[in-house]
A and B are shown apart, each in its own frame.
Chain A
């Protein structure tokens, strides 16, 4: 089974430039997550999709961040314009989520390391 695919793996941009990250989840996983992880910290959820619907985007800085998941499969996360503080690793994860008190495990991609100069 292929894992979660992310691209690019590394990206260096100057501040105020736009940047986009792409994620292809594991086949059959209807839930997709975008996280931001700063060095030495836990992943911070930016947005969670169930199929095409964004069910939790409360932590997404909507003034500069946007995300889409067309057709409920792969997803893109965009930052425009980027700021110095956006330097971090952006992780995508997918799972076969279900409602109720139990959850399926999340499978993470390798992440995109973003450096804003």
Chain B
């Protein structure tokens, strides 16, 4: 069956350092979305990637979709305390299944 990995599980960074989380699927995806969940909150949509090799930027956030459409990354440049939370990838498979990754929890030390 479909296997989804997201690494790392936890990341502690000093404010101003960069942060990257990776999402990997065992099968080819139709698209991938990224969500952020603040502690005690609910997931909030960040971005969607659809095309092979696609790169999108939102201010300090850069999102990439792999050429084979099996992996994706989210990179944050110069983290701030407002970046604290858990980042999830949401994968849509070619079989129209929707699967969340296990998430990467980001802590930012001021």
Residues of A within 8 A of B (CB): 33, 35, 40-45, 48, 55-56, 91, 93, 100-103, 105-111
Main SS class of interface, B = strand
Kindly provide the distance from the CB of A53 to the nearest chain B CB, expressed in whole angstroms: 13
Nearest chain-A residue to B99 (Cβ)?
Answer: A45
A-B contact pairs, 11 of them (CB 8 A): A40-B103, A40-B105, A41-B102, A91-B42, A101-B30, A101-B50, A102-B50, A103-B48, A106-B35, A106-B43, A107-B45
Nearest chain-A residue to B89 (Cβ)?
Answer: A42
CA–CA, A33 and B99, complex, Å: 12
CA–CA, A91 and B68, complex, Å: 31
Main SS class of interface, A = loop
CA–CA, A65 and B50, complex, Å: 33
Q: A102-B31, A109-B42 are contacts. A56–B50 as well, Cβ < 8 Å? A: no
Is the Cβ of B42 less than 8 Å from the Cβ of A44?
no
User: Within 8 Å CB of B92, what residues of A?
Assistant: 101, 103
8 additional A-B pairs beyond A48-B98, A101-B31, beta carbons within 8 Å, are A41-B103, A43-B88, A45-B99, A91-B43, A100-B30, A103-B92, A106-B33, A111-B42
Within 8 A of A (CB), among B65-110: 88, 90, 92, 96-103, 105
Kindly provide the distance from the CB of B29 to the nearest chain A CB, expressed in whole angstroms: 9
User: Within 8 Å CB of B45, what residues of A?
Assistant: 105-107
Instruction: Choose among B33, B100, B105 the residue that contacts A43 (Cβ–Cβ < 8 A).
Output: B100
Q: A103-B48, A111-B42 are contacts. A56–B98 as well, Cβ < 8 Å? A: yes
